[in-house]
Amino acid sequence: MQGFLAPQRLLLGPGPSAVHPRVLRAMSTPLIGHLDPMFLGVMNDIQTLLRRVFATVNPFTIAVSGTGSAGMEAAIVNVIEPGDRVIVGINGVFGTRLATIVERCGGKAIRVDVPWGQVIEPDSVAALLQQSSPVKAVVLVHAETSTGASQPIEPIGAMCRQYNTLLIVDAVTSLGGMPVEVDRWGIDVCYSATQKCLSCPPGLAPLTLSDRALSVVKTRRSPCHSWYLDLSLIADYWAEKSRAYHHTAPISMIYALREALRLVEEEGLPTRFARHQLNSRALVSGLMALGFNPLPPPDRRLPTLVCVTIPSHIDEAAVRAELLRRFGIEIGGGLGPLKGTVWRIGLMGESSTEANVLTLLNALEEIGIRSGWVSTPGAGLQAAAHTYSVGR
């Protein structure tokens, strides 16, 4: 059997994103023990850097060993117990998944369903908090990866405090690419993933808990349903003064995350957020010039993931396949009821560059000209170039 040589790909799908060479080099650092004092120092660095990205002073800020889905499950199974009432905003795949996890914990999911591509309005949450009290938690997806919609969080955080309700937020596709203000917005549990805007390989899930959320975890009436994701046990492993063995940490991934967070720190969050915004606006301008319209309304579009509807005369799967085969470009198709009707284009972390935007638009124009659905060559590129010229 021959060794595997990965092809060169331009990763512009919903994840993973491109990874900086420094992060890849960090993964080749020699292993040391996961309880070695030097490795514990690396963990301390990660906690400090994650607090800055989450905009929090929460002592309990860690990286769960597992992908973003492990962070999602940890956020729910540690807080929700049988009989707890939980308001869950559902406007895409991941809100649906959160409701399922709540119900598997024995909780009662009070679903707030809206059409995919829209967001959960704060007034809807306020009405349910008033009608359904007591409510253990409100669960929302900040950046819905299946639709490209950006959910307002801050007004809902204030409501949750008023009703003594926890606020749990999925920031998988937003952390590191757009503001996530855990303390200012009143978020109690927030989780993300390394392979999106942080531009680190998949395998860790950044997670932060407020003091009142941690108190709920430590005073549960029943044991957490998951031993591996039991945060009351994991907390002792991440404690900065004394570490208690829980599981063997993915050492190379911890190295990688530290380096990825150092890159975020060097760029600076305001600069990083502005970069994602500008590249997203340029891509949307170019795609609209080619006849593709964004799914979410203008004030609810993510800067990290663009979701556009596909005209019926275009074979969206064939175009995606041609992008990959001829140009080495990966973009994502739709999920669930949006399958076959939308594209999901990620501009996250290292993948969010002007060169990548223009490369994708150029490839789409070439395919469109050959297939007959682009009548004005250069329209997409010109629209994007104009956005860049006025946006700097």
Q: Are residues 126 and 234 in the same domain?
A: yes
Q: Is 54 left (phi over 0), alpha (psi -120 to 50) or beta?
A: alpha
Pairing assessment for the beta strands 329-330 and 10-11 based on DSSP bridges: parallel
Residue 7 in any domain: the answer is no
Same domain, 63 and 169: yes
Task: Answer yes or no: is 158 within a domain.
Answer: yes
Which of 226, 245, 266 is the endpoint of a domain?
A: 266
Q: Is residue 203 domain-shared with residue 280, that is, in the same domain? A: no
User: Which one of 266, 290, 311 terminates a domain?
Assistant: 266
- At residue 248, the pLDDT reads 87
Same domain, 100 and 247: yes
For the chain, what is the total number of helices (H) and then of strands (E)?
14, 15
The reply to whether 5 falls in a domain is no
User: What pLDDT tens digit does each residue of the chain (392 aa) get?
Assistant: 889 988 999 999 999 999 999 999 999 999 998 888 898 899 999 999 999 999 999 999 999 999 999 999 999 999 999 999 999 999 999 999 999 999 999 999 999 999 999 999 999 999 999 998 899 999 999 999 999 999 999 999 999 999 999 999 999 999 999 999 999 999 999 999 999 999 999 999 999 999 999 999 999 999 999 999 999 999 888 887 667 788 888 999 999 999 999 999 999 999 999 999 999 999 999 999 999 999 999 999 999 999 999 999 999 999 999 999 999 999 999 999 999 999 999 999 999 999 999 999 999 999 999 999 998 899 999 999 999 999 77
* 13 part of a folded domain: no
- Residues in Cβ contact with 100 at an 8 Å cutoff, skipping those fewer than 6 apart: none
DSSP 314-365: S-HHHHHHHIIIII-EE-EE--GGGTTTEEEEE--GGG--HHHHHHHHHHHH
One domain for residues 146 and 215: yes
Same domain for 275 and 262? no
Q: Is residue 10 part of a domain?
A: no
Query: Which stretch of DSSP H or E encloses residue 287?
Result: helix 269-289
CATH assignment at residue 305: 3.90.1150.10
Query: 31 and 101: one domain?
Result: yes
Residue 36 is given by DSSP the state S
d(CA 294, CA 296): 6
Say yes or no: 128 and 236 in one domain: yes
At residue 238, the pLDDT reads: 85
End-to-end CA distance of the chain: 51
Residues 180-199 pLDDT 10s: 999 999 999 999 999 999 99
Q: For residue 269, what are its two tokens?
A: 């969050």
Full residue range of the structural domain in which residue 200 is found: 20-266
In Å, how far from its chain's centre is CA 173? 2
DSSP-based helix, strand, coil % in the chain, nearest 5: 45, 15, 40
Closest to 88 (Cα-Cα) out of 179, 198, 167? 167
The backbone region for 351, taken as left when phi is positive above 0, alpha when psi lies in -120 to 50, beta otherwise, is alpha
Half-sphere exposure of 165 (CA within 13 A, CB side): 28
CATH number at 218 reads: 3.40.640.10
Cis peptide before 21 (omega within 30 of 0): no
* Calpha distance 247→182 (Å, rounded): 28
> Do 176 and 273 belong together in one domain?
no
| CA–CA separation, 18 and 9 (whole Å) | 9
Residue 47 within a domain: yes
Give the chain's domain count: 2
Q: Is residue 223 part of a domain?
A: yes
Closest CA to 77 of 193, 207, 164, 177: 207
Strand positions, DSSP E, 29-104: 61-65, 85-90
With respect to residue 230, please indicate whether it lies within any of the assigned structural domains. yes
Contact 379, 46 (CB under 8 A): no
Same domain, 281 and 202: no
Same domain, 285 and 178: no
Among 246, 266, 286, identify where a domain stops: 266
Q: Do residues 185 and 281 both lie within one domain? A: no
